Amino acid sequence: MRVLLAEDEPRVAGFIAKGLREQTYAVDVARDGEEAVYYAGVNQYDLVILDVMLPIKDGYAVCSELRGSGIRTPILMLTARDAVDDRVRGLDSGADDYLTKPFDFKELLARLRALSRRAAEIRPEVIRVGDLALNTANHAVNRSGKSISLTAKEYALLEFLMLNPNRIVGREQIAQHVWDENFDPFSNIIDVYVRRLRTKIDVGFERPLLHTRRGEGYMLTAEAVTADD
């Protein structure tokens, strides 16, 4: 999942971004409200974490602008203000949830999971493609009962592919959801991770699940495939 984090305090932004990346999220960081609106307009995000006290445009203005432009991405607002009127203002501006600083990072993760479940595309706790199973709650992956160990980025890539079974997904789609703004479109990093993932989920099993479509992208399927590069 790709997250937009709008937070102007470097220490807080670094702490949140680091923690989210360790939990397999791809994170873009906006340092002010204007930058947050720009990022949300040019990228596709699964979640937005929006601090209220942002320079140039505050979180309320950003939230209202995003909703006014038709962006329906779930928004979690962060603020040091805990007055009821502030919470009401945040929710009325279009936020889906509200978390007061300081907060426990576990609670932030739980709220993000809850917001993702409310999104249009519901993510089930366990996703299956053939005999491959992925648990979105504890990130456990196994095939035919055999546990598979993945890095955070390998897991994020596999989760995205498993949420789009039997469909060809292009490199641009993968970059949009699995990598952040630091992704180099001219690199072969996606191909490298696909090869790593294929080694872990396919090698040693009777039928391959991960297939390459030359010039198109990749497909994860348990169905028979006639040609595979």
pLDDT tens for each residue of 67-78: 888 888 899 998
Query: Over pLDDT 70: what percentage of the chain?
Result: 93
> What number is the average pLDDT over the span 41-56?
91
pLDDT band at 194 (very low <50, low <70, confident <90, very high): very high
> What number is the average pLDDT over the span 124-130?
85
Structure confidence at residue 115 (pLDDT) = 85
Helix (H, G, I), strand (E, B) or coil at 190: helix
Query: Higher confidence at residue 214 or residue 62?
Result: 62
Going by C-alpha positions, the residue among 10, 43, 11 that lies closest to residue 175 is 43
CA–CA dist 191, 19 (Å, integer): 26
- Residues paired with 28 in a beta bridge: 4
- Residues paired with 135 in a beta bridge: 126
Residue 210: phi and psi, rounded to 5, are: -100, 120
Q: Is the pTM of this model over 0.75?
A: no
| Greatest distance between any 2 Cα atoms in the chain | 61
pLDDT band at 182 (very low <50, low <70, confident <90, very high): confident
pLDDT band at 80 (very low <50, low <70, confident <90, very high): confident
**What torsion do the CA atoms of 26, 6, 17, 159 make, to the nearest 10 degrees?**
-20
- Residues paired with 29 in a beta bridge: 5
Cβ–Cβ < 8 Å for 39, 70: no
Structure confidence at residue 118 (pLDDT) = 66
Query: Higher confidence at residue 180 or residue 58?
Result: 58
> What number is the average pLDDT over the span 141-150?
93
**What torsion do the CA atoms of 50, 52, 54, 58 make, to the nearest 10 degrees?**
100
Average pLDDT, the chain: 87
CA angle, residues 128, 132, 137, in degrees to nearest 5: 60
Pairing mode of beta strands 126-129, 97-100: unpaired
Cβ–Cβ < 8 Å for 30, 78: no
pLDDT band at 120 (very low <50, low <70, confident <90, very high): very low
Asked if pLDDT for residue 119 goes beyond 70, the answer is: no
Going by C-alpha positions, the residue among 25, 5, 220, 19 that lies closest to residue 139 is 25
Structure confidence at residue 35 (pLDDT) = 95
